[in-house]
Chains A and B, each alone.
Chain A
Amino acid sequence: MRAYVLKRLLLMIPTFFGISLVVFLVLNLAPGHPGGSQLASDLAASVKGAATDESHRIFREQFGLDRPVLLNTYLWLDREDVARALADMAGHEGATAADRIRAQQQIEDWGRWAVPHLVAEMNQSQEPLIRDVAVYTLRLASRRPLVDPFAPRPTPEQRAENQRRNAENEQVRSMRYALDAPEAEKERVIGEWNAWYAEAKPRFQPSGVDKLASFFLETRFARYWANLLRLDFGVSLVTREPVLETLIGKLRYSLSLSITSLLLGYLIALPIGIYSAVDKDSFADRSVTVFLFMLYSLPTFFVGTLLLFWFSEGSSVPWLRWFPIGGWQSPEAGELTSLAQMRDVTWHLVLPVLCMTYGSFAALSRYMRTGLLGVISSDYVRTARAKGLPERRVILSHAVRNGLLPVITLLAGLLPAILGGSVIVEVIFDVPGMGRWLIESIYQRDYNVIMATQLLSTLLVLFGILVSDLGYALVDPRIRYQ
C-alpha cells in the first residue's frame, strides 16, 4: 500500500508538469499584456523618456517577460532579423512609433544573441542612420543581466560578480553619441565598441552545450519552474505581495467551504440514494428522482441569487431575513468570544454551503441509487437474503459496500466541479476566497496569481483523485494496490 501511494505520488509529477505547461502556454500565448492596462500605459510612457524605459525594462526582466515562452529560438537569430528590426527602429518604410518601440523591445529581448549581428551591422551597414541605431541598441543588448538580482540573501561571490557586471553595464551604457555628433566622435565610439567586442567576443560565441542549455533553460517556462522548485510562486503584479502567502490565506476560506459542502453532500446523498434504490419505483422514489433531477438542472448562480433574494438580510420578505447578505464574518467579529465567533462564521456559511452542496448532492444520490440498483439483484445479495439475514443487514452491510464504488469514483470528478463552482459562489456571497481572488486577478491580468491558483487547484484535484482511488481499495477488498 505504501509503495503504491509512493508510486502514485511520483506519477503525479509528470502530470503536474504537463498541467503547468498547458496553463503556462495558455497564459503566455494569449493576446494582451500582463499587468493589463498598467503595462500598456508604461509602454506609452516609454516613448517619452529613458527613465520610464528603464523601469519598464526592469519590470519585464523581473517577471521574465523578456524571454521566449517555451523554447529559446533566439539561438537562430540571423542578421536579416536584426537588420529588419534596426530598419524599423530607424523609421524605414513607414514604420510607426509603435513599430519603433516594438523593434527596440525586440532587440532588448534578444539581448546577447543579437550582439554579434549588431556589431556586424554597425561596421558594415552602408547607411549612417542604421549604423547609429545599431550603436544605440548595442548598449541595450549587451547589458549583462545580474545573477539572481532578487535573492533575499546573496552570497559574497554573487555580490562581487554583480558589482562587476554593474560596472561593466555602466561602462557600456556610456558608449554612445548623439545623432548630431561630429563624425569623428562617432568613429571614436564605434572604435570603442569594436575594442569592447574583440575582448568580450568569446561570451557571444556559445558552445554547443551552452546552446542546448539555453535552448531549454533561457525561457520563461524554465524560469517559472526554477522558481517553483523553491516554492516561489512570484509576487502579485498588482499588490507586489508574495502570491503563495496570500493564496494560502485565501485557501482557508475556499477549502472550508468546499470540504464542508462535500461532506454534507455525501452525508445527505447516500441515505437518500440507498432509500430510493431499496424502495425502487415507489412513490417516494419517483418524487425523489424528479426532485433530484430538478436540483441537478438548476444553475448555481440562479440558486445563489435566489437564496440571497429570499433568505438574506436584503430579502424582500421581512420574516425570512435569517442570514447575512455575504462575507465571511460580521464586521464586529473581533470583539466576540471565540465561541460566538464560530457561531458568527457558521451563520455566514449557511447560504454559500447550501448553494455549493445542492448540485453535488443531487449527482451523488443519483449515482448511489444506480450503483446500489446494479448490485441489489446480484447473486451474493440473494445468498445473504437466503441465509435469513434481516433486510437491513443485507442492504447496509452487504449491498451498500459494492454500491458505493461509483460514488467514490465520482469524488474525483466532483472536485474540479466544486472548485470551479466556488468562483461563482464566492462572488455571489462575497467570500474572500481563492475563486474570487482568481477572477479579480483575471480581470487585472495578474499572471502570477492566475498561474498559482490554477496550479494549486489542480494539485488539490490530483490529491482528490488519489484519495478516491484509495477509497476504492478500502471499500472493495478485491482491489489490492501493489
Chain B
Amino acid sequence: MSAAQELPLEALEAGAPDRLSYWALVRVQFGKNRPAVWGLWSVVGLFVLATAAPLIAMDKPFLWIGEEGLESPLLGALFNRLIFENGVDIFFNLLLVLSPLYLLAAVALRRAGRFGVRGAGALVAAHLALTTLVVPETWFGLENPLHHEAPVVDYRARQVELEKAGEPATALFPPRRIHYRETDPERSVQPPGGSLWLGTDVEGRDVFVRMLYGTRISLTIGVVAVGIYVWIGVVLGALAGYLGGWWDVIISRLIEVMICIPSFFLILTLVALVEDRSIFQVMVIIGVTSWTGVARLVRAEFLQQRELEYALAARALGLPRWRVIFRHILPNALGPVLVSATFGVASAILIESSLAFLGLGDPSVPSWGETLNVGRLEMKYWLIFAPGLAIFFVVSVFNLVGEGLRDALDPKLRT
C-alpha cells in the first residue's frame, strides 16, 4: 500500500499531503479506532471528575448567606491545609480553580495556531510550578504566604443551629455534604441506600466519596510514576544506544539484572522499608523500579536511528552530542515509548492499588485498593464491587488507549 492511498481526503483537498506530519498521520489512524477514542475521552472524563470532586462531594457549601453576608466557604476550604493537606489534592484543587483561565489560554493559543504539544506542555508545566509554590509549608526557610491554614467551621452544624433559631441561612451545598476523611463510628459498614450511594466502610466513611477522591490518587500515581520511569528509561536507553561502548555494556547489564528481579517483590520490599510512607514515595518507588522496559525500547531505537543519514548529518554539523541525542534522534524514537508509557500508567495504577490492598499504601489518602481490602475482610458486596470496578475501569481505559496508539503507530496495520 502506498502512502498516498492512506492519506485522508480532507488533507488531500487541503492540497498539502506532504504537510501531513508523522504524528498527524498517527492521529488520523488513532481516530479510526473507535474503542480507543472512547478510551481517550474516558481518560479526559476521569481527569475532569478528579478535578471537580469537591463540587460533587464536600462538607462546605459553595455559597453561604449568613449574618456576615455572602461567602463561599468551599473556595477557602480548597486551600485550607487543615482540610486538604495532601499535595495531590492541592494539585487538583488548584486546577479546579484555575481551569477557566487555562481553558482561555488554550483557546487563545489555538487561535494563534500555537496550541500544539508545546503549548499544552507549557500549560502543564505552569500548573506544576504553581502547585509546587503552594504546597510546601516554607519557602527555603521563609513562611509560605500561600500556605493557608484557617479554623475549620462545621457549616452543616451551623445551619442546623440557625434553623432551630428560626432564621436559616441560605446555603448551597454540593450534592454529597461530606469529606472523604470524615469517619462516623455509628455508621460502620452500612449498605448502599438513601443518601449513601455506595454504602460506608468499617470506619463509617462514605465509599462513594472515597471512590471519587480516589480517582485523583490513581491518576496521579499513574502519570507521575510513569513520568519518572520514562525519564530514567529514555536517558539511560539513549546513552546506551547512542554512545555504545562501555556505556552500553554497563547499562545493558543493569537492565538485565533489573529485569530478572520480580519487580513486584522489589517494590513491596522498598515500600515496606520506608517508614511513614507518603503517596509520593510510593510513586517514586514504582518509578525507579520500572524503567527497564522503556530503556530497552529506547536503546533499540537509538541503535537503529544513529546510523541513519539525518543523524549523520546532525553529527556532521558539529552539533553537541546531547543535542543530537535529545533534539534530533529522540523525537523519532518516542513512538514506542508513548505506547509503553500508556500501558505503564495502567500497570502503575494496578501496582499502587495492590500495595494498598496489602496494607502497604499511604493510609492518609483514599486509595481504591485499601477499600477493596476492607471489602475482602468484611465480604460486603459494595466494598468489593465499587473499588474493584473502579480500578478495572481505569485500567481498561488506559489499556484501550495504549492499544489504539500501538495500532496507530504500526505501519503494517494502517488501513
Q: What is A's interface to B at a CB cutoff of 8 Å?
A: 14-15, 18-19, 22-23, 26-27, 30-32, 293-294, 296-302, 304-306, 308-309, 314, 316, 415-417, 419-421, 423-424, 427-428, 438-439, 442-443, 445, 450, 453-454, 457-458, 461-462, 465
Q: A27-B269, A423-B358 are in contact. Are A18 and B262 (CB under 8 A)?
A: no
Instruction: Decide if B12 is an interface residue (CB 8 Å cutoff).
Output: no
Q: Tell me what chain A mostly uses at the interface: helix, strand, loop, or mixed.
A: helix
B376-409 Cβ-contact flags toward A at 8 Å (1 or 0): 1001010010011001100110011001000000
The answer for the CA separation of A26 and B372 in the assembled complex, in Å, is 30
Q: A27-B273, A316-B379 are in contact. Are A416 and B388 (CB under 8 A)?
A: no
Within 8 A of A (CB), among B149-179: none
Q: Tally chain B residues at the interface, Cβ within 8 Å.
A: 43
| Closest 6 A/B residue pairs (Cβ) | A420-B264, A302-B388, A297-B396, A30-B273, A416-B262, A18-B257
In the complex, chain A residues whose CB is within 8 Å of the CB of B387: 302
In the complex, chain B residues whose CB is within 8 Å of the CB of A439: 268, 358
Of A14, A419, A423, the most chain B CB neighbours within 10 A belong to A423
B266 touches A454 (CB 8 A): yes
Instruction: Decide if B263 is an interface residue (CB 8 Å cutoff).
Output: yes
A31 touches B274 (CB 8 A): yes
Q: Which of A27, A298, A314, A443 contacts B392 (CB 8 A)?
A: A298
Instruction: Decide if B10 is an interface residue (CB 8 Å cutoff).
Output: no
Q: What is B's interface to A at a CB cutoff of 8 Å?
A: 253-254, 256-266, 268-270, 272-275, 346, 350, 353-354, 357-358, 369, 372-373, 375-376, 379, 381, 384, 387-388, 391-392, 395-396, 399-400, 403
A sample of 22 inter-chain contacts (CB < 8 A) reads A18-B253, A31-B274, A31-B275, A297-B392, A298-B392, A299-B388, A301-B354, A302-B384, A306-B388, A309-B384, A415-B262, A416-B262, A416-B263, A416-B264, A417-B262, A417-B264, A438-B265, A457-B262, A458-B260, A461-B261, A462-B260, A465-B260
B262 touches A420 (CB 8 A): yes
Of B269, B350, B357, B396, the most chain A CB neighbours within 10 A belong to B269
Min CB–CB distance B101 → chain A (angstroms): 35
Q: Which of B275, B346, B391 contacts A32 (CB 8 A)?
A: B275
The answer for the CA separation of A415 and B261 in the assembled complex, in Å, is 10
B379 touches A453 (CB 8 A): no
The answer for the CA separation of A450 and B265 in the assembled complex, in Å, is 9
B376 touches A299 (CB 8 A): no
The answer for the CA separation of A428 and B43 in the assembled complex, in Å, is 30
In the complex, chain A residues whose CB is within 8 Å of the CB of B403: 293
B257 touches A306 (CB 8 A): no
In the complex, chain A residues whose CB is within 8 Å of the CB of B373: 301
The answer for the CA separation of A419 and B267 in the assembled complex, in Å, is 13
Nearest A-chain residue to B394, judged by Cβ: A297
A296 touches B272 (CB 8 A): no
In the complex, chain B residues whose CB is within 8 Å of the CB of A18: 253-254, 256-257
The answer for the CA separation of A27 and B261 in the assembled complex, in Å, is 14
